[in-house]
Structure 1
């Protein structure tokens, strides 16, 4: 399939997952992860309907940002080093990987300099895999409480990555737990607003994630290819 056909194919699968779970299709946004493709392919993806673009690393994103930021909403979805924050702030309206106070401090500092607010997801390592970043579920509520002091961070949701499973059904408990944690966070009224978003689900498991409440799914080569 070419790029447009892949996008249409993914769209049909997203719609089917929404139908199965009695969800409105408008509740789910697709982030096209373009780290492995050229600027030309990324621009074409936007022209074919991808409104959200995700990048994992600043060096990969640097050449694309100036072009894509005027055409789409940019999401930084990878692990973020504090020393790279100065490059990210002001270019990526969404950061999906807040997992430590030192990172929040640097985002706050750079956001104050630019006089902007930044939409942030708290990354939670629901599966407990050592290879994955994120705070543990047990740390979430204390961590969320500590983030209240940062005036330039808008906590809009939670993010997680499920294990890579041959049987996709095995990822369902991970996604279900992230939704439970978000709902519990709202019940605690730590913030004076409702946290709505769940960033979860990738190429291997996005349909399960949608069925369990994902509002953002992150799709790379299966959607945009590798060139």
Structure 2
């Protein structure tokens, strides 16, 4: 879907960096994976490691010099070969989680949501910013942007608009997940059973909005613009 007038979006100031903090993002992603491990048990970790290593070998022709048996070991290995990968190392960890969850759940299921909820909770608790401080959706988004920039995990550009029907539309550009998401979308890894496409960054946004507004939020990726390297996502309270 296309046809959005980007001039209608209220844009936050561009992030004061050109590259996301890879280790900070990887720590959050790994923390989310550990939360999912509590649901599925050791089988989830084994699958994540298996899929991550297969992806690394396929993309970069690399194999670890020793056996990897834990998520922390996988984290450090992926960071160590980051320069040899065509995408950020943390996306390989994300990708492996998506695949493992779909294999165990049959679709993007409980593990996917627990992972992102845990990631958001850890991020929110790490910098003293409380979603409850916001009195509106606009204030919540401003707080979220401040938090994500402080942690150096925010997309370089972020904006929003609220439609006449009250629906929230988000604009993400310069997102470090973009190239990895293209691969995931092409392989339908991010597709829900009803065909809608999910967005990991927006799951984080929805978790923040939930804490702020006391409502559940759902989202759908509406536009994945390869030429402009941006995404537009619709969010609605449910």
| Same structural fold, with TM-score higher than 0.5 when normalized by the shorter chain | no
Structure with more of its chain in helix, by fraction: 2
Q: TM-score, normalised by structure 1?
A: 0.29
Q: TM-score, normalised by structure 2?
A: 0.28
